[in-house]
Amino acid sequence: MEPDVTRVRYFAAAEEAAGRPEEDRPETTLGALREALAADYPGLGGILPRCAVLVDGERRDDDAALGDAETVDVLPPFAGG
């Protein structure tokens, strides 16, 4: 049986830093995902603390489980007004 994965979608500067628009990730908590993304994509690690990270459209704490999550969106701050 294949392990659970969560689809991570990157937007704007986060997509540029990750070098891809989306990918499947195996991490089981939001905190573990944040740590892994910062390690895998150093450029993303620099902006990740300022990004909104939504789990199935909602903000969650780092201890949130991702096993049932379908998507995690990484949204950097957007310029404009």
pLDDT at 4: 83
- Segments making up each domain of the chain, as ranges: 15-75
What residues contact residue 37 under an 8 Å CB cut-off, 6+ apart?
Answer: 8, 18, 25, 44, 45, 48, 74
pLDDT tens-digit readout, 22-74: 999 999 999 999 999 999 999 999 999 999 999 999 999 999 999 888 999 99
Residue 1, pLDDT score: 35
Phi first, then psi: what are they for 44, rounded to 5°?
A: -70, -35
pTM recorded for the entire structure: 0.89
CATH topology for 15-75?
Ubiquitin-like (UB roll) (3.10.20)
